[in-house]
Amino acid sequence: MSPISTIALGASIAIGNIAAETPNLGELTLIEEAGFNELEITISAIGDSDTKTSQLTGTLTAQLNIDSDIGISHLFVIQDAAVQASDVTFNLGNFFVGATINTHDLAGTADTPLGIGPVDPTNGEFEAILHTFTINSGTLDGSALFTPIDINVAESPISGTGAGTGTIILSDPIEGPDFRIDYTVTLTLPVDFSGTIPTGIDGQDADIDVQGRIKAAGSAFTYRIPSYEEWATSEGLAPESRAAFTITDSLPNELIYALGLSADFSARDLLVPSASGVTFGFGESQTRDNILIEFSDDLTTWRPVPPSQFESGQALIPRGFTGNITISPEAGARFYQVSIAP
């Protein structure tokens, strides 16, 4: 294989994702459907309780890991969410010993605290407890025992985890140019958590319980990894041209294919020097084969970059990787090459 080489003083390697329109990123919107996005909120205080239903609206962004061969995601990690709840009024007790609590503009967010969200590939199910929900804005007002209530939820957020089993389902795949596949994504996520809110009455707190099922739908896309023959045909090359230097005289066709590139790639985009060293740009499409980065100080002896210099702990860039790899300065190594792993 012809190497891709550059002079640099290398050290650690960091892996990062490409911004812009990003593969495997689900952009979801809560939908209107009976039995979903209706929070049953129960407030208990002064020896009584009341339950009201609040309607949810909002959006959610999730990191997925789509396997285009079987049309499922192995991963569901909430990156961001913005959810609003409709206003409701709770009435507890009676005229003599009672309370009225009104909610105004309650809103919150969701996340996956550990950044770990495995999905069962056989049915799209996952453990909802891995994901956290927080009501962190809005106000509650009213009165209890003729004492005014004025609560800023931002000062006393209500937070808890999901409960039971959620699902993330991919459907309606549509393949477009460049082997891109778009999917409809549907999420269901049960929630059931409790907390307390201050009442302002002799330091007493009211218990609050939240239950419901969130459902959201949207889209996500990934890139199918084509065979070399499919790729070559789409690029106007002969299917048997793996070892040829048709696209450029410095790289064989099969290496350009393996890097996830197209025939019109720019070598300047592939290797970008910076103050931190040199960045290998693998592009928005996935790598189509396992890639190895090697180093040398004499252009004669080549060795894999030590695993300790990778954030991932390994020198091999796996098939299906998307993003950039940056090598920053270290004494000794001056040349680097990228090749197809044996």
> What separation, in Å, do the N-terminal and C-terminal C-alpha atoms of the chain show?
11
Contact 276, 13 (CB under 8 A): no
Residue ranges per structural domain of the chain: 13-18+226-340, 31-223
- pLDDT of residue 328 exceeding 70, the answer is no
| Backbone Cα Rg of the chain | 27
- Average per-residue pLDDT for the chain: 83
Name the nearest CA neighbour of 271 among 251, 252, 290, 246.
Answer: 251
Sign of the alpha-carbon dihedral angle for 55, 58, 61, 66 = positive
Least confident of 254-268, 277-291, 319-333: 319-333
Most confident among 107-116, 147-156, 255-264, 289-298 (mean pLDDT): 107-116
In the chain, what percentage of residues exceed pLDDT 70? Answer: 82
**97 pLDDT band (50/70/90 cuts)?**
low
* SS3 (DSSP) at 130: helix
Q: What would the mean pLDDT of 318-340 be, rounded to a whole number?
A: 72
Contact 217, 36 (CB under 8 A): no
- pLDDT of residue 330 exceeding 50, the answer is yes
pLDDT at 125: 97
- pLDDT of residue 263 exceeding 70, the answer is yes
Least confident of 39-48, 55-64, 278-287: 278-287
Number of C-beta neighbours around residue 204 at 10 A: 13
HSE-CB at 77 with a 13 A cutoff on CA atoms is 15
Output the CA torsion 109→112→114→117 (10° steps).
180
Burial label, 163 (beta-carbon count in 10 A; 0-12, 13-18, 19+): middle
* SS3 (DSSP) at 309: helix
pLDDT at 325: 75
Most confident among 43-52, 84-93, 305-314 (mean pLDDT): 84-93
Backbone region of residue 303 per phi and psi (left: phi > 0; alpha: psi in -120 to 50; beta: other values)? beta
pLDDT at 275: 66
- For residues 340 and 342, what is the distance between their CA atoms, to the nearest angstrom? 6
Task: For 206-257, write each residue's pLDDT tens digit.
Answer: 888 999 999 999 999 998 889 999 999 999 999 999 999 998 888 899 999 9
Number of C-beta neighbours around residue 250 at 10 A: 12
The first and second tokens of residue 326, run together, are 């940056």
Find all residues with CB under 8 Å of 62, minimum gap 6, and list them: 25, 26, 28, 76, 77, 78, 79, 168, 187
- For residues 277 and 336, what is the distance between their CA atoms, to the nearest angstrom? 11
